[in-house]
Structure 1
Amino acid sequence: MAQGDKSTGSRERILTAAAAMLAENLGARLSVRAVAARAGVSTGSLRFHFPTQRALQDAVLARIYGHLLQDDPIHDRSLPARDRLVNCLRQVLAPAGVGEQARAAWTTAYRAYIASEPTEEARAAYLALERGGWGRIEYWLTVLADEGALPREDHARRVKFLLTVLNGLSIERALPAEDSILKSETETLYMAVDCVLREL
């Protein structure tokens, strides 16, 4: 095996191990030692591929988002822009599940990031998650802006608004509800998207 093949193989093992750790526990700390041990590589090899913890976290989140959102509905131009953006936002909510699954996810997040003063490692992990979500929504808005559905400008306010809506909806999925959550969620997503497309 050539040196380049070994290097690619160890990078893949590292990303796979880190993604598996996050899949098992959203609050998992992606420490260099833990990820290297799980991947079966040395800490030096991990640092070669990912010199900082942020580089590792960003690469893992890019991998996760790429896997979850392979068939990105933003590119389905047979649908209006508002429907495509709602479908994209639904994909972000889908992994959280509903009811017990959503409660388990929020319990994990609460313990990892809210219940006690977060460590620098926990803060970095959370900010990496936030950057991943931000980047994905910003990309969708940029695609729509390139098509003329939005003005070409900094989308920071729109992204923040949509992230806030998604956070609220994901919490709502964990709470008891009388009516169909998915029906009210769809109405909320369309309201949010209509606000964004009308320019906040």
Structure 2
Amino acid sequence: MSTHDSETTSDSQSTRERILAAAAEIIAEDGVTAKLSVRAVASRVGVSTGSLRHHFPTQQMLRDEVMQRVYDWVLPDSEIGNSAVPPRDRLVDCLRQVLAMTGAGPEARAAMDTVTATFIAVEQTEQVRESYLAMQRDGQRRVEEWLRVLAEEGALTDKSRIPQLARFLCSVLDGISLERALPAEDSLAQLETETLYVAADAVLNPQPRPAPR
């Protein structure tokens, strides 16, 4: 019987949580593009590299899980399941929560400076790529979860398009985040609201697409 086979469920869960905590500490110390090497994380936790690989077979799986936990902590619980509120309003509110993380004006510019310095104005190493994709996947996953809830209510009829629609909404958020960092009109908040509702309506009430010629 292997060490992993004899490990109790509670011990296994505890080890997994300690691994995630150690990886989060490394990211907090060195930034989101920090290298989560198996040896470094295992050493900080005090477990073997084999034990770490048992819980997280790849560095990418570990990074994805850490980033998911970070955003679970940062973002408030969404009201996407509150059926007392119209679906489009709930979806817009969830999108606004994500935008709130970037702030506005000076905060938005500082956030964009960080993104540029971390992911754009640097050598595009595999580590940088993996770090960015972990954040992107987590954003995509969250939006897909919101759309699945609405689909279960019947507010979104074509479940097969959820990944595509989530990607569209993430692109809308990226555009608004960038716009917030740029010189803008005083009425930007109103324009954002209109844009978010247009995006929500495009997802929840799609117009028939013309047949290809």
Deviation, 1:80, is 0.1
Q: Could you tell me which residue of structure 2 aligns to residue 102 of structure 1?
A: 108
Deviation, 1:62, is 2.3
Q: Could you tell me which residue of structure 1 aligns to residue 70 of structure 2?
A: 64
Q: Which amino acid aligns with 1:31?
A: L
Deviation, 1:92, is 1.4
Equivalent-residue separation in structure 2 for 1:136 and 1:169 (angstroms) = 18
Deviation, 1:32, is 1.9
* CA 1:137–1:76: 2 relative to 1, 3 Å: same
Equivalent-residue separation in structure 2 for 1:184 and 1:11 (angstroms) = 44
Q: Could you tell me which residue of structure 2 aligns to residue 173 of structure 1?
A: 180
Over the matched positions of the two proteins, sequence identity in percent amounts to 48
Alignment pair present for 1:118 and 2:124? yes
For structure 1, the 5+ residue unaligned runs are: none
For structure 2, the 5+ residue unaligned runs are: 1-6, 208-213
Equivalent-residue separation in structure 1 for 2:185 and 2:25 (angstroms) = 35
SS of residue in 2 equivalent to 1:187: helix
Q: Which amino acid aligns with 1:32?
A: S
TM-score with structure 1 setting the length: 0.83
Q: Could you tell me which residue of structure 2 aligns to residue 28 of structure 1?
A: 33
Residues 102 and 177 in structure 2, CA contact (< 8 A), matched pair in contact too = yes
Q: Which amino acid aligns with 1:167?
A: D
RMSD, aligned α-carbons: 2.7
What pairs with 1:145-184 in structure 2 (closer than 5 Å)?
A: 145-154=151-160, 155-184=162-191
Q: Could you tell me which residue of structure 2 aligns to residue 195 of structure 1?
A: 202
SS of residue in 2 equivalent to 1:74: coil
Residues 113 and 126 in structure 1, CA contact (< 8 A), matched pair in contact too = yes
Q: Could you tell me which residue of structure 2 aligns to residue 131 of structure 1?
A: 137
Equivalent-residue separation in structure 1 for 2:111 and 2:31 (angstroms) = 7
Q: Which amino acid aligns with 2:183?
A: P
Equivalent-residue separation in structure 1 for 2:28 and 2:86 (angstroms) = 33
Equivalent-residue separation in structure 2 for 1:28 and 1:175 (angstroms) = 25
Residues 82 and 197 in structure 1, CA contact (< 8 A), matched pair in contact too = yes
Larger Rg: 2
Identify the range of structure 1 (5-14 vs 84-93) with the bigger mean alpha-carbon deviation.
Answer: 5-14
